[in-house]
Chains A and B, each alone.
Chain A
Amino acid sequence: MNESINLKPGQINGEKGIWEMVIGLEIHAQISSKSKLFSGASASFGAEANSNVSLVDAAMPGMLPVINEFCVEQAVKTGLALNAKINNVSIFDRKNYFYADLPQGYQISQFTKPIVGEGEIIIDLDDGLQTTVGIERLHLEQDAGKSLHDQHPSKSYIDLNRTGVALMEIVSKPDIRSPQEAGAYVKKIRSILRYVGACDGNMEEGSLRADCNVSVRKSGEEFGTRCEIKNLNSVRFIIQAIQSEAERQVEILEEGGKINQETRLFDTSTGETRSMRSKEDAHDYRYFPDPDLLPLEFSDSWVQKIRETLPELPDSLKKRLVTDFGITPYDASILVEEKDYVDFYQKAANGKDGKLTANWMITELFGALKKENISLSNSPISPENLGQLIALISDGTISGKIAKDVFAEMMISKKSPSDIVKEKGLEQVSDDTEILKLIDKVISENEDKIKDYLGGKDKLFGFFVGQVMKLSQGKANPGIVNKLLKEKLK
């Protein structure tokens, strides 16, 4: 190992040189519809077992699927937000496999002609850089049911509530080169889905999950054989799983071995991937067009109508926040992560110092909410009140230090900052004569130290400022105290 080599993210320094990762992601996003993709049963989460199941979902003979218009709209809307080609004609295929939670024996999916074709998105990396990731396709498909294996020693319990719920599978091109980029990609897709309203992006409840295809190669060489890590439901696990899988592959290749193309699972307790029981026929899905469903067709004008309902998307909003409010691109990228962050910020910063508002929102408000485990939508401090606090700081009514006390009070009492300032008499004292009175008092009480200061102990100046501030209970304007004290002690 050569210690002096500076590795880029996604590079692995092996015994026999530097390897790079090639990563592609398949994201499964549950569409935020009320009912399922092909049946009128509820798509809600957490209902009693098998209560959200229609006879279509249970695959009873003779039942016919009828597609949900809202789900089609959301797929098109998402496709437009991914700058992707919308296919006015797409086809539903049957993907055949046997599993206990798949009563049809096939999943209705789209294979040869998906509803959305190629597109691309820009992802933001930690160092402020951006990179583009290609989208291969987006298609509509049904989710499977849920199997519980821990209820009985020799039986599995099956709940079909999730069977037939609408998913969008978003497939990236193999453009991703590091676990960090993969994480940023998932965050960006999640953010876009939430802006568009197509998916709530809730990874804990499984509304958004990712399969990661990982291979390694020496720089400039052909793609290596890939492995697919299934069903990752957090950005942290995605990053860990890719890193550990790539390291595993490098080790095998450097020992002269070969990578088997296979499906692997990430074990969150060990942080490593392991092979799923080998299923040599697993990928032989024998797709064919679903004879129960005609091709899905729509007109350009229908697509145009949907385009007109698209909200302003994160990339454009980010640019606008930088231009309109003078904040840094980094702060802007944090604020556009979630739609409700931007909405809150724009209300709070309206007519105020944009930079100061961004600082207070990101550092103080987000910090306090995280500590209390409250979401922004339940914030005890309204955007109007945060804006008012910023105004009170900007116009000198209160100091930044007092503002922190007022902020803490706002978190508890939900009162407006001006009410708190009035009630507690916290207005900053900027009046010269008021402050001079305090300075005189401090001088008369500290005659010894004044002598030392005048004798050359410059460091004592800070002590005098502190005493004056203390005497004013923190309300004196520190700038004016400094100025007047300097004049007084010349």
Chain B
Amino acid sequence: MSNKESIVDIPTVNKIARLSRLNIPEASKQNLTNDLNNILGFVAQLDEVNTSDVKPLASVTGHKLPLRSDKVTDGNIEDLVLKNAPESSSGFFVVPKVIE
């Protein structure tokens, strides 16, 4: 599955990595770039299909978005919510300072 044109280059990979807060080793960047281009090239094959008369499909089962009524049915589980937190104090999550 070879791509016709490369969309992604190493600077793009750096940018996506930064936005996703991922630390990517320098050595794997070229492989990742190739992988991304292959994936995008694969998906790009869909552009060859004429879909001008096809409505967007959100569900194959015909399900609609379920709605719930406005009732308080959850909460008051601070202990559970905070259980995995590396640090907490008086009911708050505690994290390294993040101020503008």
Bound-complex Cα distance A48 to B90 (A): 9
Are A158 and B95 in contact, with the CB atoms below 8 A? Answer: yes
CA distance in complex: A265, B100 (Å): 10
Q: How many residue-residue contacts, CB under 8 A, span A and B?
A: 132
B27 within 8 A of A: no
Query: Are A281 and B78 in contact (CB-based, < 8 A)?
Result: no
Q: Is the CB of B80 within 8 A of A99?
A: no
Is A395 at the interface (CB under 8 A from chain B)? no
Q: Which of B15, B58, B72, B81 contacts A58 (CB under 8 A)?
A: B81
Query: Whole-angstrom distance between the alpha carbons of A284 and B66 in the complex?
Result: 31
Main secondary structure of the interface of A (DSSP, over half): loop
Query: What is the minimal beta-carbon distance from A146 to any residue of chain B, in angstroms?
Result: 10
Residues from chain B with Cβ under 8 Å of A68 in the complex:
67-70
Assembled-state Cα–Cα distance A48/B92 (Å): 9
A51 touches B75 (CB 8 A): yes
CA distance A104 to B3 in the complex (A): 33
A49-69 residues with Cβ-Cβ distance < 8 A to B are 49-56, 58, 66-69
**How many interface residues does chain A have, given as a range?**
35 or more
A49 touching B72, Cβ below 8 Å:
no
Chain B binding surface, main DSSP class: loop
Cα distance A276–B78 in the bound complex, in angstroms = 33
Q: Which residues of chain A (39-84) have a CB below 8 Å from chain B?
A: 39-42, 48-56, 58, 66-72
A293 to chain B minimum Cβ distance, whole angstroms, is 6
A100/B78 in contact, CB under 8 A: no
> In chain B, residues 57-98, which have Cβ atoms closer than 8 Å to a Cβ of chain A?
58-59, 63-78, 80-82, 87, 89-98
Contact A71 B70 (CB under 8 A): yes
CB closest residue in chain B, given A74: B70
Q: What 0/1 readout, one digit per residue, does chain A (77-103) give for beta carbons within 8 Å of chain B?
A: 000000000000000000010111000
Residues on A with beta carbons closer than 8 Å to the beta carbon of B58 = 294-295
Chain A: residues with CB nearer than 8 A to chain B?
33-35, 39-42, 48-56, 58, 66-72, 96, 98-100, 147-149, 151-160, 265, 276-277, 281, 284, 286, 293-297
Which residues from chain B sit less than 8 Å from chain A, CB to CB? 15, 18-19, 21, 58-59, 63-78, 80-82, 87, 89-100
Mind listing 28 A-B residue pairs with CB under 8 Å?
A33-B70, A35-B74, A40-B72, A50-B82, A50-B91, A53-B77, A54-B75, A55-B81, A67-B66, A67-B68, A68-B70, A98-B21, A100-B93, A100-B95, A149-B97, A151-B92, A153-B97, A155-B96, A156-B97, A158-B93, A158-B95, A159-B91, A159-B92, A284-B19, A293-B65, A294-B58, A294-B59, A294-B65
